[in-house]
Structure 1
Amino acid sequence: MLCRSVAVELEVTKELNSLLCSVESAYLNIVRDVAEYAVVNNVTSATQLQGLFYSKYRGEYQGLHAHLVIQAIRQAVQIAKSFMERRRKGLVHKPYPEIKSVSIRFTEETWSYEQFVKSIAPVRLSLSLLGKRREVWIRPHKRFWQYWWRVLSGEARLASTLVVKRRLNKWYAVFVFEIKPREEEPRSIVAFDINENTVAVGRIDIETTVSKVANWNRQHVTPQLYTIKTDFGRLARRYERVRNTIIERLKPGFALPSGKYANITNTREFRRRVKRLRERVRKVGRVRHVANELTKTPAIIVTEELGSNPQGSMINEIRRNETRHRIKQTPFKAVEKAVEDKALERGSKIFRVSAYRNSRVCPIHFTRLGETNDWHVLYCPKGHYVNRDYASVANMMWKVTPEGWVKGVWWNLRREINWREHEGKSNSLIPYEIVKYIHAMLKAFTASEQSPAVLARGSPMNPAGGANEGWARTPMNRPKGTHALQGGKGSEGF
């Protein structure tokens, strides 16, 4: 199951705001006390801590619901475990965690979960606050209604735990939706390769590469190669200059008697200025943009096996500190995880192939490429130049085809490979499940004389004549403002 969180603002009056602040204060005190006790005494059992502190806090906060006390103790246990794990790794040097704010967790018994789920258009909640239930109205938005429609159609389920939190003097209710992964037939095969400033993408449309359409439209047989601009490296370089400028401005205030300077990066003034740079927010936005672009339609998505720490293996032979820093700041795993998560939600399948020699082999002649003056452009011995990023995504597609996996690994198939010796054996670089999936997919999309895989419409294949092939092509008699689908498909006649 996939989990998606949606925050909805609450309509809070002065009286209700006072009640929520009182509950938040009591909840925060419980979390702080229990977390400190758990760290000092090395106790991480929620059941044991609940037996020690439940009666105490029930007597101290009599108006607080019993389940809120239990949730506060469990939340304190999670914070204590995380703090102790980070302390073992040497990432913290304090005796116990400093908790400044918390999110109040309302279980099924402390808010109107059953009534909320049965409603077609829910617009209010019922929360247990200091002795009795209070009606709270919410302000739903477009994203909330999108996931609520999935709940009504049976594609998702609303979690029973509701999270209420305060941010910038506004109260929000956070709903958690558990979404079922979609199962749809793939329409294309997509391979992508993550680089410092771009993401190289190779896309093949399955419907336009079957026999009949391929004979009429040879241009669609060639994979569509393009790049998505991310500028992760340029972003890291820019923020590095900004941080160095902040350090130089703060240095005079932290001079030592010996003439040296204290570590500026550990000061409160430095952290206060750096947190306004929004570096992490910009990265997250670009990662989500890449994931949304690659999973627009159901597809078979192919990428390299990055491993647990791809940046570490890339900077082993790099001595320049600036280059090492840019590579370390490139979110390779974050992009891969975002694409995988979005692919499950939209009905795509993701497969990983070996990264062995993907960008060093010509995808046309399968010969080793030679170096040129440009790092991104390599030279094939057959007499042409190849972009190494596009070669990488093309070779990844070769590795998932039934016949091309050997060509993507060895340079010369006939001279270095004995077919009889390797006949009937499986390739260790490609899981057998991928080959089975590709065979089943290609078999389902095979055309015949009785049912050719062509567009069932009377208008020509390219009604706009010399229009740009990479954009939606509009017929001449179509009203202004309406477009055909990508690839020249119209919206009618199917």
Structure 2
Amino acid sequence: MLCRAVAVELEVSKELNKLLCSVEEVYKRIVREVAEYAVENNVTSANKLHGLFYSKYRQEYPNLNSQLIIQAIRQASQIAKSFVERRRMGLMSKPYPEVRRVSIRFTEKAWGYEQFIRSIAPVRLELSLPNGRTEVWLRPHKRFWLFWWRVLNGEAELASTLLIKRRANKWYAIFIFKLKPREEEPESIIAFDINENTVAVGRIDIKTTVSKVVDWNRQYTTPQLYTIKTDFGRLARRYERIRSTIIERLKPEFALPNGNYVNVTNTREFRKRVRKLRERVRKVGRVRQVANELTKTPAIIITEELGDNPQESMIEDVMKDELRHRIKQTPFKAVERAVEDKALERGSKLFHVSAYRNSRVCPIHFVRLERTDDWHTLRCPKGHYVHRDYASVMNMAWKITPEAWIKAFWWNMKQEMNWREHEGKSNPIIPHGIVTLLQHIMENAKASEESPAVLARGKPMNPTGEANEGWARAPPRPLGRGGGQKEY
């Protein structure tokens, strides 16, 4: 099951706002006290904490719904477990967790779940507050109706737990939808490779490839190769300069009598300024844009097997501190997880292949590429140049074909597999029809005297270049021959 959270603003009057603020204050106090006790006494079991504190808070707050007390104790147990684990890893220096914000959890018994789920177009809900059942109106938006339509169609389910949260003096109801993964026929085959500032993509459209267009225009049998600009490395370099400037400005305020300085990065003033940079928000936005671009249509998506912590293996031989920092800040696994999660929602499938020599072999002649002065451009011994990122995605596409075709990659290189165990076998994960189609496409993409090696897709046959074919215009003419536009 996939989970999606949708926040919907509540229409709150002054009286209701005061009531919700009082409930939030009591809820926060319970979570804070229970979490501090759990960490201090090393009691993180939710059942044990429930037995110790439920009766106390039930007598202290008789008007508060009992389910809210239970959920507050369970939330404190989760916070305590997370704090103890992070402290064991050396990531925490404080003696107890600080609870600054909480989300009030309403179970199905504490809000009108049954009535809400039976409604075709819900615009209000009921909450169990100290003054009894209170009706609250919603301000639904497009994203909420999108997931609610899936609930009505049976493609999703609404979780029974409702979260109420205050942010910037506004109250929001957070609904959690459990989506069923879609099953769609793949329309394309996509291979992508994550780099420091770009994501290289190779796309093969199945419908276009098998159509009659191929009979008279062979360029459509060649995969579309393009890059998505992310600038993760440039973003890390920029924020590193900004943080260094902030440290230099704050150093005089934290000077010691012996001439040394306090570690400025551990001070409240430094964290307050860094929090406004929004570095993490920018990264998350770019990661989601890449995932959305790669999963627009149902497809078979291929990428490299990165491992649990790919940055550590990448910086083993890197000596420059700045380059090591940029690599560490590139969210390789975050992009992979986002693509995998979005692929399940839209009917695509993500497969991992070996990262062995993907960018060092010519995907057309299957020979080892030679280095040039440009790090991104390699030279094939057969007489053409190859971009290493595009070679990588092309070789990933080759690797989902049967092992007999994969073996062609390493016929004159170091053997790392026992090919006798896989002789004559086919890949059991990818459908056989897709394998046959991809094999046919890649055969047509091979270089020969009649068809030279071209890694990029051919230019449009329309002589006007970028002109719209529906409203074609005359091609631009140079100045001095009539009809040309003047330059200013």
TM-score normalised over the length of structure 2: 0.88
Cα distance change on mapping 1:290 and 1:310 into 2, 3 Å: same
Matched residue, 1:49:
49
What residue in structure 2 maps to residue 406 of structure 1?
Answer: 407
Other-structure match for 2:67? 67
Give secondary structure in 2 for the equivalent of 1:261: coil
Alpha-carbon RMSD across the aligned residues, in angstroms, is: 2.5
Corresponding residue for 1:140?
Answer: 140
Partner of 2:326: 326
Aligned to 2:273: 273
Q: Which amino acid aligns with 1:130?
A: P
Once residues 59 and 119 of structure 2 are traced to their aligned partners in structure 1, the CA distance between those partners, rounded to angstroms, is 36
The code of the aligned residue for 1:241 comes to R
Match of 1:291 in 2: 291
1:260-311, Cα deviation, whole Å (9 max, x unpaired): 1110000000000000000000000100000000000000000000000000
What is the SS of the residue equivalent to 2:178? strand
CA contact (8 A) 1:107 1:162 kept: yes
Q: Is the 8 A contact 2:34 2:76 kept in 1?
A: yes
Q: 1:178 and 2:178 equivalent?
A: yes
Q: In the alignment, is the contact (CA less than 8 A) between 2:9 and 2:171 conserved in 1?
A: yes
Question: What CA distance in whole angstroms lies between the structure 2 residues aligned with 1:432 and 1:227?
Answer: 30
- Corresponding position of 1:32: 32
Q: What are the residue-to-residue correspondences of 1:171-320 with 2, within 5 Å?
A: 171-210=171-210, 212-320=212-320
Q: What residue number does 1:121 align with?
A: 121
Residue type at the aligned position of 1:364: I
CA contact (8 A) 2:462 2:469 kept: no
Structure 1's 53 and 144: CA in aligned 2 closer, same or farther, altered over 3 A? same
Distance 1:146 1:78 in 2: 31
Structure 1 unpaired stretches of 5+: 446-462, 478-494
Cα gap change, 1:142 to 1:296, in 2 (>3 Å): same
Write the letter of the residue equivalent to 1:68: L
Counterpart contact for 1:401–1:435, Cα < 8 Å: no
Name the CA distance, whole Å, in 2 between partners of 1:253 and 1:228: 43
Distance 1:395 1:16 in 2: 61
Q: Comparing 213-222 with 89-98, which one deviates more in the overlay?
A: 213-222
Moved over 4 A (4+): 419-423, 439-443, 463-469
Task: Report the 3-state secondary structure (helix = DSSP H, G, I; strand = E; otherwise coil) of the residue aligned with 2:408.
Answer: coil
Shift of 1:407: 2.2
Q: Quick one: distance in 1 between partners of 2:436 and 2:105?
A: 46
Q: Secondary structure at the match of 1:177?
A: strand
Deviation at 1:152, TM superposition (A): 1.0
- Report if aligned partners of 1:464, 1:475 keep a CA contact under 8 Å in 2: no
* Stretch deviating more after TM superposition (191-200 or 213-222): 213-222
CA distance in 2, matches of 1:53, 1:246: 45
Report the 3-state secondary structure (helix = DSSP H, G, I; strand = E; otherwise coil) of the residue aligned with 2:105.
strand
Measured after TM superposition, the shift of residue 406 of structure 1 is: 1.4
2:456 maps to none
Q: Is the 8 A contact 1:193 1:389 kept in 2?
A: yes
1:86 corresponds to: 86
CA deviation map 1:310-361 (0-9, x unaligned):
0000000000000000000000000000000000000001100000000000
Go from structure 1 to structure 2 and tell me whether the alpha carbon gap of 1:30 and 1:405 turns closer, same or farther (over 3 Å shift): same
Distance in 2 (alpha carbons) for counterparts of 1:333 and 1:420: 30
Q: Which residue of 1 aligns with 2:485?
A: none
The residue matched to 2:430 in structure 1 has which SS? helix
CA contact (8 A) 2:400 2:435 kept: no
The 3-state SS of whatever aligns with 2:226 is strand
Structure 1 residues 291 and 437: alpha-carbon distance in aligned structure 2, compared to 1, 3 A threshold? farther
When the two structures are superposed, what TM-score results if normalisation uses the length of structure 1? 0.87
Aligned partner of residue 432 in structure 1, secondary structure: coil
AA aligned opposite 1:5: A
Q: For residues 414-425 of structure 1, what are the structure 2 equivalents within 5 Å?
A: 424=423
- SS of the aligned residue for 1:120 comes to coil
Q: Deviations over 1:114-135 (max 9, x none)?
A: 1111111111111011140111
CA contact (8 A) 1:400 1:435 kept: no
Alpha-carbon distance in 1 for matches of 2:235, 2:77: 37
1:464 positional shift: 9.7
Percent of aligned pairs with the same amino acid: 71
Structure 1 position 20 matched with structure 2 position 20:
yes
State the Cα deviation string for residues 377-418 of structure 1 (Å, max 9, x = none): 0111111111000000000001012352212344479xx99x
User: CA–CA distance in 2 between the matches of 1:133 and 1:387?
Assistant: 65
Aligned-pair CA distance for 1:425: 5.1
Distance in 2 between residues matched to 1:392 and 1:385, nearest whole Å: 14
